[in-house]
Structure 1
Amino acid sequence: MSRLDSMLRRLTAQRDGLNWAAAQIVDLDGDVLDMGLGNGRTFDHLREILPQRRIWVMDRVLQCHPDSTPPAEDFLQGEAEPMLAKLADRGPCVALAHYDFGRGIKHEDVAEAARLSPLIARVMVPGGYLISGQPLVGFEQIRGPESIAPDRYLFYRA
């Protein structure tokens, strides 16, 4: 599979997974957390499909497209550990989390996701949903939408 085809497959899975998860949390109280703002495409999609939810966004730097800039009060800038700890000070408040940290070096990205998993658990409301391109630990892995191959995107319940 070409890198372009792989990217298209990943982005389609991401969009379909977010849409599916948004439908799952209709009766669940809590905010949304987008870990890894990048250029802001995912944040922009989340605010479109979940306009009534507060969307926390976390990244090392703010370098997204101007149209996809989160409100300053919802942007947690810095390294993941202290930003997750800051959010955890509010108590469990996240009904849907999207994990998209990584540098593209698989073994390092997997190790980082495992290291951050306990901190992510602290912000999740019971029964909340997590979507990730990397394996997370300590959560119940579930089957997402049938249209997404099980190895393409991962789905969890807190």
Structure 2
Amino acid sequence: MSRLDSMLRRLAAQRDGLNWAAEQIAVLPGDVVDLGLGNGRTYDHLREILPDRRIWVVDRVLQCHPSCTPPEADFLQGEAEPMLRKLAQTGARIALAHYDFGFGIKEKDVAEAARLSPLIAAVMQPGGLIVSGQPLVGFEQLTGPDTIAPDRYLFYRA
């Protein structure tokens, strides 16, 4: 499979997974967190499908498209570990988390996801969902929508 085809499959899975998760948390109170802003496409989609939820964003740098810049009060800029601790200090309870951190080196990405999993758990609303491109630990793994190939995207309940 070409890298272009792989990217298209990943983006479709991400969109389908977020749409599915948004439906699942419809009655669950809590905020949303986008872990890894990047260009802002996912953040923009979350704003569209969850317009009444506060959406926190964590990333090392702010380098998104100008139309996708989160409000300053909702953007936690810095390394993931201290920013997740800061999010916990706000008292935010997260109903939906999207995990999209990565260096592009599978072993390093998997290790970081495992290391950050307890910090993510600390901010999650009981029963909240996590949509992730990397395997997380300490959560109940779920089967996501049928449109997504197994292990293309991962789904967890806190």
CA displacement at 1:89 relative to structure 2: 1.4
- Give the equivalent residue in structure 2 for 1:114: 114
Name the CA distance, whole Å, in 2 between partners of 1:88 and 1:73: 15
Indicate yes or no: 2:5 matched with 1:20: no
- Does the 8 A contact of 1:34 with 1:43 survive in 2? yes
Aligned residue pairs, count:
158
- Give the equivalent residue in structure 2 for 1:132: 132
TM-score, length basis structure 1: 0.99
- The alignment's C-alpha RMSD in Å is 0.7
Name the CA distance, whole Å, in 2 between partners of 1:91 and 1:133: 26
Structure 1: gaps of 5 or more residues = none
CA displacement at 1:91 relative to structure 2: 3.5
For the residue of structure 1 that corresponds to 2:109, the secondary structure is helix
Name the CA distance, whole Å, in 1 between partners of 2:151 and 2:83: 28
Give % identity.
Answer: 80
Matches within 5 A, 1:1-158: 1-91=1-91, 93-158=93-158
Name the CA distance, whole Å, in 2 between partners of 1:91 and 1:120: 13
For the residue of structure 2 that corresponds to 1:89, the secondary structure is helix
Name the CA distance, whole Å, in 2 between partners of 1:28 and 1:78: 29
Name the CA distance, whole Å, in 2 between partners of 1:78 and 1:103: 15
1:83-102 deviation line (CA, Å, top 9, x unaligned): 00011113451000000000
TM-score, length basis structure 2: 0.99
- Does the 8 A contact of 1:35 with 1:59 survive in 2? yes
For the residue of structure 2 that corresponds to 1:34, the secondary structure is strand
- Does the 8 A contact of 1:22 with 1:50 survive in 2? yes
For the residue of structure 1 that corresponds to 2:130, the secondary structure is strand
Name the CA distance, whole Å, in 1 between partners of 2:134 and 2:149: 14
